[in-house]
Amino acid sequence: MPKIYVNTDNSNSKAKIYEAGKMGKSAAAAEQKMQDVVTALVAKEPDFVSDKSAVGKGYTIRIKVTNATTAAGTTTYTVHPEIVRFPSGVGKGGKGEFMVSTLVKDLEIQIQGHSEDMLLDAVDDATQKIMKKCFPLMRVDMTKR
């Protein structure tokens, strides 16, 4: 069985994979951290690859910061993961995306103060948790394709 491709290309501003706009001035750094963590974890899995030379059937793991609230000096960010089959498929309505059921709940990141280093550490940790749950789901889904 060929390796499972994981799309990590976040360069298309109209179809971003990693979105952290709710993190204000740290958004670009948080998006880069998400991409770096996903790429590094994919590289450690023997049956996955993110190298564009191996593009085939695979997945895009979208990670989006959907909410930010501040109370008593603590900011809470909600992080929403999605697994989408790659490349897009063709159905009755034309070309589109097929979502994979994740059963992964949104994660919350809580940061006290305004330290970007603390924020990026929390983004790193949340992304690792997401990926740990996504690998088995992608393996199972790939057997159905």
pLDDT per 10-residue tile (average), the chain, 145 residues: 89 92 95 97 94 80 94 93 84 72 83 91 96 94 87
pTM: 0.90
Amino acid sitting at position 142: M
Distant-in-sequence, close-in-space partners of 92: CB < 8 Å, separation ≥ 6:
none
**Domain carrying residue 97:** 4-142
Give the residue from 61, 63, 60 showing the smallest Cα distance to 23: 63
* Residues 34, 50: Cα–Cα separation, whole Å: 14
**How many domains does the chain contain in total?**
1
pLDDT of residue 91: 63
Beta bridge partners of 89: 96
**pLDDT at position 90, please?**
65
Angle, nearest 10°, between helix axes 116-142 and 27-44? 40
The CATH number linked to 40 is 3.30.160
